Structure 1
């Protein structure tokens, strides 16, 4: 758990005391609730405003980013500092509890849905000739290392973007469902290349279902419960505070989650190169998912644009346009940041980072 502080019109002498008091409250009440549910790396941004002596002298506002793409907000005002802090922490804890309970229900529903899909695949597989199933299993087994790398890379971006929670689905969850779906719909005579293209297509389909399930559930409002009006969720009324309250969570992308090899296998690079790679990761994360997937299939998987049409279910001009737009965006942003953006392989730094 990380806390960041912003003080507005506050006495510098009081700031250390405020930080210590708030940290103690968070460690006592919030951190235990986050442990073991994939939210240990969350960050709380605190804005503390002291209005002067009198009623509601202290105003404490807490913002906490939790996946998928949610920011929990709480605030409290009081004449006494500790009362204001306790009020804000208590309100945030209530929202954390509501969020985690909802996520648990969501994860249970998503797992049940996934198990149902797997059962359907197995049932269909049992109707296929044994010899064909064995041939399909043998061929897909040889492609598992490549598929696992592709799934790991895609999950890294979806997790960092907040489109999926950090602990589900796992790489093996996705790989298992992809293989089951491909074998259940196996086409006789497929070679390894055609089979891998089919696996990549199914990988995107599986992940799109998980992303959509996360978004749909996150937007649901129980009809049997009244919608409570929380002042903390309303439009800010304090002019100028939006500058102090701007905050984004830490970047969660790591180079070892994107390149083919592990971090220990990454060649030594200069600090300048490390900065460029890190900045490129951020730019890739900012791309629309469709653009990023087209670019990464082309660059990382070395798949021809014509073959990508079947994977992405779009025509060739659309594939070409997506790759071109993604390349242009990343290259121009690199140039703006002062990095050299070669006109050839834009992602060569990544492709050269892992073993062949």
Structure 2
């Protein structure tokens, strides 16, 4: 870091003590700038005193490749006049580095903890009853919610719209349920609870995917840390260990294809290849087009229901459906499937799509969080005699 100082009309004490304080504070500041090239960082310190007056003013200007930060302070003693603007400059630098790392977008410990634990205990009996009513409304739709999240997240990861592993099915399901709990009294009455949950699911996935795209990768080194030494190429033993411990819950397009029994091997393989090609093409569709296709051809919804779920007009649904089917037809033909089999593949899209029940562990966890008779003193506390007068 290049440091430039200028002293104007300072007395002898200021000229003697000022450089010592600046060297000490600049060294502390430089530790936060380890990731910047030293020749690209410049600190300018100007300390001035009006001739014949005792008031001192310090102006600091830190020029970085990513911006310029400044601080100023006035007083009557040289040391506090210098140390206070350095402290202010350090705080502004920390905020600046935080923005460069995009910490406000990915560093959300409170929200992560809330989703991880789903919900804290209910504050009172009214809140517990409200949660129980909400769970009664959504219980029959949890499998559909789970499959919608699993399918859409798989498409997003397959098309590189979301970094693989950044989002999880459980986290998105939890986020959707929490979003619904916050507003389920305000749900539209013109369509069913299932359609309302589907709309919430799509909106939640879209918001979380947008945040995941903006967030920096988990393995990025912070700007204020010295970079690690580069890692060497993996050995054969490293590769064998990695292959052995591959996680079992990776999202793959192949997992979206239903496992059909009772067919000859050649027929089963041909149907599976056609279904996999269909899902690859679905992953390449624009998000809104894919949702229209899913609602109409996989969920077997009407155009009016699809329009209500996606909050667009029925005419827009018809236009998107026609364009999306033409795109899928072209992609299936390019993948080597005969034109006469393309229509059958699209018609059998629901049969080609695997529907997996939500894991019992997740369902039990959600049920426990929303149950009215959940253990906890906070449920019944307001109904005890000690609280009767409040």
TM-score, normalising length from structure 1? 0.51
3-state SS of 2:288 partner: helix
Number of the residue aligned with 2:254: 255
Number of the residue aligned with 2:25: none
Q: Distance in 1 between matches of 2:116 and 2:271?
A: 43
**Given that residues 153 and 169 in structure 2 are in contact (C-alpha distance below 8 angstroms), is that contact kept between their aligned partners in structure 1?**
yes
Distance 1:285 1:183, change over 3 A: same
Number of the residue aligned with 2:154: 156
TM-score, normalising length from structure 2? 0.47
1:309: how far off? Answer: 2.0
| Count, aligned residues | 226
Distance 1:163 1:188, change over 3 A: closer
Number of the residue aligned with 2:74: none
CA RMSD, aligned part only?
4.4
1:203: how far off? Answer: 0.9
* Cα deviation code 1:224-280 (max 9, x no counterpart): 89xxxxxxxxxxxxxxxxxxxxxxxxxx74232x25x6x587976433323222222
Number of the residue aligned with 1:346: 346
**Given that residues 147 and 175 in structure 1 are in contact (C-alpha distance below 8 angstroms), is that contact kept between their aligned partners in structure 2?**
yes
1:152: how far off? Answer: 0.6
**Given that residues 305 and 316 in structure 1 are in contact (C-alpha distance below 8 angstroms), is that contact kept between their aligned partners in structure 2?**
yes
Q: Distance in 2 between matches of 1:273 and 1:345?
A: 8
1:107: how far off? Answer: 8.3
Number of the residue aligned with 2:179: 181
* Cα deviation code 1:34-83 (max 9, x no counterpart): xxxxxxxxxxxxxxxxxxxxxxxxxxxxxxxxxxxxxxxxxxxxxxxxxx
Distance 1:266 1:137, change over 3 A: farther
Number of the residue aligned with 2:294: 296
Match of residue 281, structure 1, among 279, 282, 286: 279
Q: Distance in 2 between matches of 1:166 and 1:266?
A: 35
Structure 2: gaps spanning 5 or more residues: 1-99, 225-250, 357-390
Distance 1:127 1:347, change over 3 A: farther
Q: Distance in 2 between matches of 1:106 and 1:161?
A: 26
Number of the residue aligned with 2:213: 215
3-state SS of 2:192 partner: helix
1:306: how far off? Answer: 0.9
1:333: how far off? Answer: 2.7
3-state SS of 1:306 partner: helix
Q: Distance in 2 between matches of 1:344 and 1:179?
A: 36
1:342: how far off? Answer: 4.7
Structure with higher Rg: it is 2
**Given that residues 276 and 339 in structure 1 are in contact (C-alpha distance below 8 angstroms), is that contact kept between their aligned partners in structure 2?**
no
**Given that residues 307 and 313 in structure 2 are in contact (C-alpha distance below 8 angstroms), is that contact kept between their aligned partners in structure 1?**
yes
Distance 1:184 1:120, change over 3 A: farther
1:105: how far off? Answer: 5.9
Q: Distance in 1 between matches of 2:109 and 2:101?
A: 12
Number of the residue aligned with 1:322: 320
Match of residue 140, structure 1, among 138, 141, 152: 138
Match of residue 310, structure 1, among 308, 311, 315: 308
1:330: how far off? Answer: 0.7
By relative contact order (CA 8 Å, sep 6+), the higher-ranking structure is: 2
